[in-house]
Amino acid sequence: MVTKSDRLVNGVLYAVLALFALSTLFPLYFVFVMSVTPYTEVLRNGGFILWPSSFTLQAYKEIFGSSRIPDALQITVFITVVGTFLNLLVTALLAYPLSKKSTPWRNGILLAIIFTLLFNGGLIPTYLVVRELGLYNTVWAMIVPGMVSTFNFLIMKTYFESLPQEVEEAARVDGCGDIATLVRIVLPLSAPILATVGLFYGIGHWNEYFKGIMYVTDRSLAPIQIVLRNMIQTPSISQELAVNSTDLAQLPPETVKMATVAVAILPIIIVYPFLQKYFIKGVMIGAIKG
């Protein structure tokens, strides 16, 4: 039976959660509203608008009318798709054998991997390695360094350890080797953890910023986050978008920036709901079992 005190506690919890959700969603809402607000209304309201009286898509027409934003999006999509695939491939190939206690030198390899959680090679040595490998100023400089996340590796290894051994033993009786067992049996059973780790890797690649600054100087290889950073720091938006300044005369710089922010965050917002159930299940199983 639900008592009055229970209802009161539930009401307080729902109110707190509602305020938390509002504080999370309001910045996204404000970004979108500012990106579709006409210039005159922005001036009339002092730059802060909750609901515009009219809408315009001129900012989106301008940013997609130049080649800068579409090219940056193509680079970001390539980094995200190819990088996430390679991340999952290498992480799974590393986590699966190390999830077996019979693997030779297993404890030593695990110790060396976990050691990287506490210490790494450092910024300058990493930069020198990237340059000597010929990755500098290439799109691969934003993919290859950090190919395996130790945190994601541990989650995936723990999940593999939780899978029933009888299923793998039955596959081996049927003649499957280690690779066939991984591809045909283990990975199909690991959809939740693959979705979870893939989302971690994918978001990291989509928000790629630091490697783009450190290892890439070619503007044509800059991902969307670097372009957005340059737009914020560049006094002239037309200079960053490589369009005539008169084309942006009817648009405030903040409107163009907000439209670029909306373009940068929209794909992640669209993809996440489809992976949410796998994400929650994978995190819970990968963190608890083992």
CA distances to 11, 15, 26, 37 from 19, in Å: 12, 6, 10, 26
Please give the pLDDT value at position 116.
85
Query: Which residue, among 213, 247, 237, 270, has the nearest Cα to 69 in the 3D structure?
Result: 237
Domain ranges for the chain: 4-35, 58-288
Digits of tens for pLDDT over the chain (290 positions)? 667 787 888 888 999 999 988 888 888 888 888 888 776 776 676 667 777 777 778 788 878 877 788 888 999 999 999 999 999 999 999 998 898 888 889 889 989 988 888 887 788 888 899 899 999 999 999 999 888 989 899 888 988 888 888 877 787 777 777 788 888 888 888 888 888 888 889 988 998 888 888 898 888 888 988 888 888 777 565 555 645 444 555 566 777 788 888 888 888 888 777 766 666 665 555 454 44
Taking the model in full, what pTM does it have? Answer: 0.80
Question: CATH classification of 58-288 is 1.10.3720.10, yes or no?
Answer: yes
